[in-house]
Amino acid sequence: MLKSYSTSIDLRKNKIHIVGLAFLFLGWLNLPAQVQVGQVIYGDTLGDAAGSALSMPDEKTIAIAAHGNSGKGLSGHVRVLSLNGGQWIQKGPDIYDLSEHDWTGWSIDMPDANTLAVGTINSNIPGKRAGHVRIFEWDGQSWEQKGQTIVGESAGDRCGSSVSMPDANTIAIGAYQNGGNGPQSGHVRIFTWDGEFWIQKGQDIDGEGSFDRSGCSVCMPDPNTIAIGAYLNNGNGINAGHVRIYKWNDSAWIQKGQDIDGQFAGFRLGFSVSMPDENTIAIGADLIEAPGKDTGRIQVFTWYNHRWVQKGQDIMGSEVKDLTGFSVSMPDANTVAYGAFGSSLTKKQAGVVRMFSWSGSQWMQIGQDIYGELPFDWFGHSLSMPDHKTIGIGAPGDFRDTGFVKVYRLPESRFIYKPVLENIVVYPNPTKDEITIQFDEVQHRIELSLQTPNGKILDVQTHRNISVLPYKIPAPPGVFLLHISNGLQEATIRVVKE
């Protein structure tokens, strides 16, 4: 039910007071819930960890990894299913690996319904835990390997820690412990299909420094663009993490724009990445090593004026260290989902998944929270959204259960609002240059985002432990939207600079 709201304007002091629930013009309240599609897809036996990774190229196809499966001695396996008559039906035999304890399916990706990439990080060829990746294609009856196995360069590389295929003939492979630029600096290699073999395209893209673990996450929206996460990079503090985006210039991979750095030590930005197009990226930061009471989060960036600029507010988790940001999926520039598999909102580490849509000025939740069923389900460990209405969610459990996957279909987008940040006073408004933002109590953490009315982000700031905040508008005269969030509540204020 809608709460009452009021907005009062004191013209004598040019102040705007916001009380209660405001700015309902941005959307409308809820909301039919999302609907499950087909049956729950369970693993075979205890310890399978089905749902540890998954990929959906379209709404009727899903690949599910169970890297703890013991069908061939804990080698792990991958299973592809198709939706038929409202039920998920297996498509072809399970895909196993060659040896025991290989952990087949650590990473998987499907660019289309008939092509599948499978990463196996514990493979011992050419050296112990070098890792490898295999690509498969559907021949009408079974999954046949396409080309050679792509192996790690040396022992300990963990080749296949991440994979991404923008199409059936291009693949990016992360090896987050490769030592090309120092121990565990990590690297990514891109390969293209020449009709017979997988041929490397360009140079190895090495991590910036030792122990960066670059290549822990990768995403290619097209064959000439790649995003690479290095969640332990120290560029902005110990384990702050960063993400780099590269473009192909016909002979080499060249960085596009600046490093996108984590905000402080322990931020671990880049643990997950999702890139729906060459100019938009969603990045997860789980903050598991951060001090204090900050939560994990998702940040979305857009390419503007030759830089990566944040689009909207941080999308915050709801609990400290709930592993928000461990997984993220972005099917288009205006839709994003995250998993927090460590969430204990309902049961201990049952997990939760949330989806968001861009309102034109901020990220608003769509659908309802989707929770795990039992303690330690780890629901949301993996996600895949092939479009803005469909989501597959993996719940592998903590290796004491079979694991399972559910697929949901969302209704038309309808926003669920966080409670609006109340009792804010903004003055003077209009202003010649600077406004003062006054809160009724000290705010532990405040994020500001100044945007144009069409959603172009002009400025993003974070402040801590404040009740009064002077803010100089860094733009020429005009009308702007100032989004204010403390992680749990938020408000959007129209500001005029004369």
The tens digit of pLDDT for each residue in 368-385 reads 899 999 999 999 999 999
Which of 30-44, 104-118, 332-346 is the least confident region? 30-44
Tokens 């459990």 — which residue? Answer: 397
Contact (CB, 8 A) for 392 and 405: yes
User: Which is nearest to 282 in space by CA: 237, 338, 320?
Assistant: 338
Token digits for 283? 């990045």
pLDDT of residue 481: 85
pLDDT of residue 4: 27
The tens digit of pLDDT for each residue in 67-89 reads 888 765 558 999 999 999 999 99
pLDDT of residue 342: 94
What domains are there in the chain, each with its CATH number? 5-27+420-497 (2.60.40.3080), 35-416 (2.130.10.130)
Token digits for 469? 């905040």
Please determine, for residue 444, whether its predicted confidence score (pLDDT) is greater than 60: yes
Band the pLDDT of 412: cuts 50, 70, 90.
low
The tens digit of pLDDT for each residue in 141-185 reads 999 999 999 999 999 999 999 999 999 999 999 999 999 999 999
The tens digit of pLDDT for each residue in 196-235 reads 999 999 999 999 999 999 999 999 999 999 999 999 999 9
Which of 21-30, 125-134, 457-466 is the least confident region? 21-30
H-type alpha helices, 137-253:
none
Q: Look over the chain and give the mean of its residue pLDDT values, rounded to a whole number.
A: 88
Secondary structure (3-state) at 25: helix
Which amino acid would we find at residue 283? I
Please determine, for residue 13, whether its predicted confidence score (pLDDT) is greater than 60: no
Find all residues with CB under 8 Å of 439, minimum gap 6, and list them: 421, 423, 424, 446, 466, 467, 468, 469
pLDDT of residue 399: 60
The tens digit of pLDDT for each residue in 317-326 reads 988 889 999 9
User: Which is nearest to 159 in space by CA: 216, 243, 75?
Assistant: 216
Please determine, for residue 280, whether its predicted confidence score (pLDDT) is greater than 70: yes
Band the pLDDT of 480: cuts 50, 70, 90.
confident
Q: What is the pTM of this model?
A: 0.80
Please determine, for residue 458, whether its predicted confidence score (pLDDT) is greater than 80: yes
User: Which runs of E-coded beta strand occur in 176-323?
Assistant: 187-193, 198-200, 205-206, 214-222, 225-230, 242-248, 253-255, 260-261, 269-277, 280-285, 297-304, 307-310, 315-316
